[in-house]
Amino acid sequence: MITRIEIDGFKSFENFALDLPPFLVLIGTNASGKSNILDALTFVATAGTRGVDAAVSEVRGDARGLFRKRGDGTRVDRMRFALELLLPAQRSSPSSRWRWEVRFAWAVPEGGLEGITIETQRLVSLSSPDRVIPLVEGEWVVREGRPALDAFSGNHKQDGEIVRRIKLELTEVRSLHLEAGSLRGASELGGPRRMDSTARNLPNYLRFLARETASENRPLGVVGEIKMHLVGLVREISDFEIVEDERRRDVRLEFASPYDRGLDAEFASDGTLRMLAILAALHDGGTAVIEEPENGVFPERLRQLLGLARELVTEEDEAATSGPDRPLQRQALFTSHSPVVLDVVPRENIAFLDMTTVLEDGIASRVSRVRRLREDAGPVRVDGERWPRVTDSELGRFRAGVEEPV
């Protein structure tokens, strides 16, 4: 599980840090940086596991546009990230905490093509601060197209196992920016097992989850639980089936209601399909980062969905596994504009984003900042925190949908 992210030089972030509990909802006005946090997490996780080129393709914006823009219109030339992770205990080893630091640079090599390169990296244990996993001998810059974490080898077998487990944690970061057209589409039989960020391949993803988690007592695996939760959220739906059609060579979803059966996904509501995709991501292991779950969802059902999401990621499930000897960890990070969040989510699970002005060599630049909500009528200024806490008047404007003056 990712417990902290630090970002500097990526999009709207300058010396930004955010602690990540198992469940967190980011709120704030438009253009405050909520979506940029999802992009930052997706970018660095993908760079670590699949390489920089894949990371650029997974987020919004071109490669140069990922670097923060200063107030005078120029862009910085470096981005720095740090991720802190909690690796769960296994039968062969206790739980441990690790910190991965990586710095990217915008490079224009002589006679070559400009692009993003990995400049420096560091992987250190937070449980045993003297323990640093070394980079591959003689090669501290990752070759083009290689995952950043491939640069770490270690001097011992245990080092290689730690790197493998960190890569596995980052591989399981799934970012969802759901689109109605993708949600309704069928999957190719034999096509990708995972849905993409828009929810394309949702039928194959559910089919994969069913087969991956099935047991003698649970023939549908977690899909049985997904069905139960969807029916509880959407009273108009009584069931759904994953239909494999050899003749059409596709996999599609068919819904049933108390009044009808065989309702194709293309006729289901946007809200139903969105909640199904979110439930699928939440029932899989890893970190689900989900943008604006309220779109197309009735407020009372959003209230139930957020409550259910919090339960799913905070409950202990010692029996479930997503691989040999590895407990299933769930983590959910949402962004939202909905005031429903303030009514259903505990304040310690909410972070408020807005923009602030910083001076760089006398030039004013706008950057994202994160602030916590006050506990009851607590103080606005809290010792040890960089920014003041959110005031009741600011929360009142958020509830009313009123933008802060620029």
Do 11 and 140 fall into the same domain? yes
Q: Is residue 60 one of the residues assigned to a domain?
A: yes
Query: Is 218 in a helix, a strand, or coil?
Result: coil
Instruction: Read off the pLDDT band of 154 (50, 70, 90).
Output: low
| C-alpha span between 65 and 110 (Å, rounded) | 21
Cα→Cα distances 19→5, 83, 261, 320, Å: 7, 10, 45, 26
The fraction of the chain above a pLDDT of 90, given in percent, is 70
Do 169 and 183 fall into the same domain? no
Instruction: Read off the pLDDT band of 319 (50, 70, 90).
Output: very low
| C-alpha span between 209 and 281 (Å, rounded) | 10
The β-bridge partners of 18 are 5
Residue among 384, 294, 386 nearest 339 (CA): 294
pLDDT at site 266 = 86
The string of DSSP letters for 303-344 reads HHHHHHHHHHHHS--SS-BSSTT-B--EEEEEEE--THHHHH
Q: Is residue 405 one of the residues assigned to a domain?
A: no
Instruction: Read off the pLDDT band of 326 (50, 70, 90).
Output: very low
Domain count, the chain: 2
The whole domain housing 387 covers 2-174+344-400
Average pLDDT, the chain: 89
pLDDT at site 317 = 43
pLDDT at site 324 = 42
Query: Is 365 in a helix, a strand, or coil?
Result: strand
Do 235 and 331 fall into the same domain? yes
Rounded to two decimals, the pTM is 0.91
Do 364 and 323 fall into the same domain? no
Q: Is residue 312 one of the residues assigned to a domain?
A: yes
pLDDT at site 173 = 94
pLDDT at site 377 = 76
Do 10 and 87 fall into the same domain? yes
Instruction: Read off the pLDDT band of 146 (50, 70, 90).
Output: confident
Q: Is residue 406 one of the residues assigned to a domain?
A: no
Which of 320, 338, 356 terminates a domain? The answer is 338
Q: Is residue 151 one of the residues assigned to a domain?
A: yes
Q: Is residue 12 one of the residues assigned to a domain?
A: yes
Do 19 and 64 fall into the same domain? yes
Do 131 and 253 fall into the same domain? no
Residue 325 pLDDT > 70 = no
Which two three-digit tokens encode residue 288?
A: 């689900």
Q: Is residue 10 one of the residues assigned to a domain?
A: yes
Do 134 and 218 fall into the same domain? no
Do 324 and 207 fall into the same domain? yes
* Residues 331 and 22: beta-carbon distance below 8 Å: yes
Q: What is the mean pLDDT of residues 81-103?
A: 89
pLDDT at site 403 = 65
Residue 136 pLDDT > 80 = no
Which CATH number belongs to the domain containing residue 212 in this structure? 3.40.50
Residue 169 pLDDT > 70 = yes
